Chain A
Amino acid sequence: GAVVSQHPSRVICKSGTSVKIECRSLDFQATTMFWYRQFPKQSLMLMATSNEGSKATYEQGVEKDKFLINHASLTLSTLTVTSAHPEDSSFYICSARGEHRDYEQYFGPGTRLTVT
């Protein structure tokens, strides 16, 4: 089956610093990647959708200058949380979808971000 990896799995950073999270599709070409955020006991919240080689589409209320997304290749997307604050502490999950749009989204294992 399709495998998506995320790195790091956990990260603790100080307020004001930036953190980069990588999402890789290991055995398929991900034409579209999605970034989600999930707060405790809440459902997934889509932050942005990115297609390889083009700018990401951000959901309403998500600051594109704070959450920088780069989808430079068909196997890698990165999310950079800039000038992180404690309220950015959350579980960040990426997912990837292959060429055909009705394919399921394959989820990465998630990244637990804690901002102190």
Chain B
Amino acid sequence: GQNIDQPTEMTATEGAIVQINCTYQTSGFNGLFWYQQHAGEAPTFLSYNVLDGLEEKGRFSSFLSRSKGYSYLLLKELQMKDSASYLCAVTDSNYQLIWGAGTKLIIKP
């Protein structure tokens, strides 16, 4: 079956750095997305990786290793507004988006 694993919840301190991991087993691979979702709101796009390596976008970076079926989202200089759920999603061989359950990130002052 298809499976996306990410931690249920993480806690970090304002100003610090946090890494949210995602591992996947899917039938084929056509890209990995990270989305941010605040409570009561729809997800918003953060990043897209289809090749191995690190993609940096401001305070957020996303890394992919296709051979390991692994990705992480790195958030630097954490702000209170970064408290949200972070969703990892993989596009499989049929271009269907397979969603992880999300990681709830709690930022403490």
Contacts and interface: CB of A to CB of B under 8 A. Distances in A.
Given A43-B87, A44-B87, A106 B99 contact: no
Contacts, number: 41
Residue picked from B30, B33, B40, B43, most chain A C-beta under 10 Å: B43
A41 B43 CA distance: 14
Interface stretch (B15-23, B44-52, B57-65, B70-78): B44-52
Nearest to A42: B101
Chain A facing B: main interface SS:
loop
A107 B43 contact: yes
A107 B44 CA distance: 7
B37 to A, nearest CB: 8
A107 B42 contact: yes
A108 B45 CA distance: 12
Interface residues of A, number: 18
Contact of A105 (B30, B97, B100): B97
**Chain B, interface residues (CB within 8 Å), range:** 20 to 34
B50 A106 contact: no
A115 interface: no
B99 A101 contact: no
B91 interface: yes
A79 to B, nearest CB: 14
Contacts of B33: 104-105
4 smallest beta-carbon distances between A and B, as pairs: A101-B95, A107-B42, A43-B101, A110-B42
Interface of B: 30-31, 33, 35, 40-45, 48, 50, 87, 91, 95-97, 99-102
